[in-house]
Structure 1
Amino acid sequence: MIGVKRQQAYRSQRFLFERFCSRSNMDNLARGADWRTVTDRKADQEQGIPAFAAWELLPGLRVTYTEDYVMGSSFAVAISYLGEESLRTPIAFLSAHPNTLSPEDLITDFDSSSTDPRKMSAAVVRLGLGAPLEEDERFSRRIIQCIGSSEADVRESAVWASMCSEWVGFRDELVRVAEGDDDLFLRELATEAVEKLDGIGADHP
C-alpha cells in the first residue's frame, strides 16, 4: 500500500522532517523536478496558522508541505486525484529528502523523551503524524502508552496522534478516554477522534 483514499483523492503517508530546516530543501527539490508552485502561505504564529506550500507535479497530482509550530513538526505529503499508482514518483522524491525522518528515527526520538512529559508530548504527536499507512505495533503501543499517561498534556497529545494516524485500532482506547477521563476537554477531543475514526471505517471497511 502506497496511498489511502480519502474522499476523492489518494494520499501518501506523511513524511516528517527534522524540525523546520526543510523548506529551503523542498524549494530546491521542487525547482529541480520542475514542480509548479500553486500555494505559498506564510505562518501566522499569533493566530496558530502554520506555514503551508503546495506544488503541482501534474494536473491532479500535488505535494504539500506544512510547518506546524503548535505540533512542533514539519512534514510533506503527496495527494493524487489520478489514482494510487501516481503517488510513486513524489513518494520516491520525498523518501530521498535529506531531512526525512525514518520510522526508526521517530521511535528513537520518542523513546529518548520518556522521562520528560513536555518532550514526550511532542514526540508522540510526531509518531501519529509520521505513522505508516498500515497499523504498526511499534507506533500503536507507544501511542496507547501515552493515552494512559498520568499527565493530561501527554494524554491530549496521544489523542491527537491517534487522530493523525487514522488507525481504527485506537477506537477502544479513545472510547475509554471519551467516557471516563477526568478532563472535560480530553473527553470531548476523544469523542471527536472516535467520530473521525468511525467515519474512516465506514468509508473503508
Structure 2
Amino acid sequence: MNNFISQLSKGTLALLAIGGGILFIVLRDPPRSICDSQVNQFKEKQIGFLFPDPKRLAGQVRQTRLKRESDFCKVRNSPGACYELFSSLKILVKELDFLDSRCKPDIASLGPVRSAVFSNLELMTLLAWGERPPVNYYAKLNWFSGADMKLFCDLKRIAYDFYGESAWNAFREKMLKSVPGVNELSRENAWNVILLSTKCETYL
C-alpha cells in the first residue's frame, strides 16, 4: 500500500485528498432536499407560536403563544378576545398554503401542526355553538364575521388536504357527540345548527 502511494504524483495525491474530503463532508452532512429546507424554514417561522422557544432558560415557562391565545379566546368568547388568535392562525394558513405540494406530507406529520388545525377547528365550533344549542340555522355562526368564517373554512380545507377525508369525518363525528346539549336534538337538527355544516363555498 505504501509503495502504491509513493508511486503516485503529487497532483494525483492532491486530487485524492480533495475527493476524500468532499466525500467525508457529504457523508457527515448530506445535501438537504427542498423539503428539508422548507420544513426547517417553517419551524423557524413558527417558533414561539407553534413550537416552544428553545432559547428560553431552564425553568422558564415554555408555553406557546398558540396555547396562550387559544385559552384566552376560549374563556372570553368574543371578537376582541379572539382577535390575536385568529390573526395568528391566518398567518399560519398562509405559511401552509405557501408550501411546495411535495413537502406537505412532511409538515403534516409534525404533531404541533395537526394539533393546531384540529384543536382550533374544535375551538371555533364550540365558540359558535355556545353553552346551549343554537336556536336555529341562522344563529349557528354566533358572532363570527365573514373573515372569521373564511379562517374556519381555510382550516377545514387544510384538514382535508393534509389529513384526508377520513380524518375530517372522524373529527366531525366527535364534535357532533360532544357539543353541549346535543342530546336534546336529533342528529339532523344538530347537524343543521352546528358550524361544521356551513357551506364553505360562500367564504373561499
TM-score, structure 2 normalization: 0.33
Bigger proportion of residues as strand: 1
Bigger proportion of residues as helix: 2
